């Protein structure tokens, strides 16, 4: 059975690119377009891994990650931050919010695939 990945991304172009790449790697993909929907889908779908954009409408990715981490059945789900925030301290801030890792945009697809293999086997 393939791993299930929740993509929380508000940018349609990024969402399509990430979904296409994950599907081509035989992952099952679910999508949320903002932080609130991300938390809701994480709760209902219980994915194996979450790719979390940090700059989201309604609720940002940092807050969504903290809320997901507060759900007992999801505390061990791997969360990788995807962000154009590549300023000094952003990686640390993402990790402090509960993300397991961090990938900056524009995405390096080889780096992303490597991290998925690292966390999902």
| Overall average pLDDT of the 28-45 stretch | 98
The tally of domains found in the chain comes to 1
Give me the phi and psi of 4, to 5 degrees please: -105, 125
Range of the domain at 14: 4-120
Q: Does position 48 have pLDDT exceeding 90, yes or no?
A: yes
Q: What is the pLDDT of residues 68-108, one digit of tens each?
A: 999 999 999 999 998 886 677 778 888 999 999 999 888 88
- pLDDT value for 86: 66
Q: What is the CATH number of the domain that holds 73?
A: 3.40.50.2300
**Burial of 72 by CB count in 10 Å (0-12 exposed, 13-18 middle, 19+ buried)?**
exposed
**How far is 116 from 111, CA to CA, in rounded Å?**
9
| Sheet containing strand 49-53, strands side by side | 28-32, 4-8, 49-53, 78-83, 101-104
Give DSSP secondary structure letters for 4-68.
EEEEE---HHHHHHHHHHHHHTT-EEEEESSHHHHHHHHHHH--SEEEEESS-SSS-HHHHHHHH
User: Rounded mean pLDDT of the chain?
Assistant: 92
pTM for this prediction: 0.94
> Which of left, alpha, beta for 104 (phi over 0: left; psi -120 to 50: alpha)?
beta
């Amino acid at each position: 059975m393939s791993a299930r990945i929740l993509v929380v991304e508000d940018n349609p172009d990024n969402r399509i690119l990430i979904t296409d790449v994950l599907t081509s790697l035989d992952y099952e993909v679910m999508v949320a377009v903002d932080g609130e929907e991300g938390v809701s889908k994480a709760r209902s779908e219980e994915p194996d891994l979450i790719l979390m954009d940090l700059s989201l409408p309604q609720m940002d990715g940092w807050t969504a990650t903290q809320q997901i981490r507060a759900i007992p059945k999801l505390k061990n789900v791997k969360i990788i931050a995807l962000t154009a925030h590549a300023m000094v301290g952003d990686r640390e801030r993402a990790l402090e919010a509960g993300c397991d890792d961090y990938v900056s945009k524009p995405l390096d697809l080889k780096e992303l695939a490597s991290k998925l293999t690292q966390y999902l086997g």
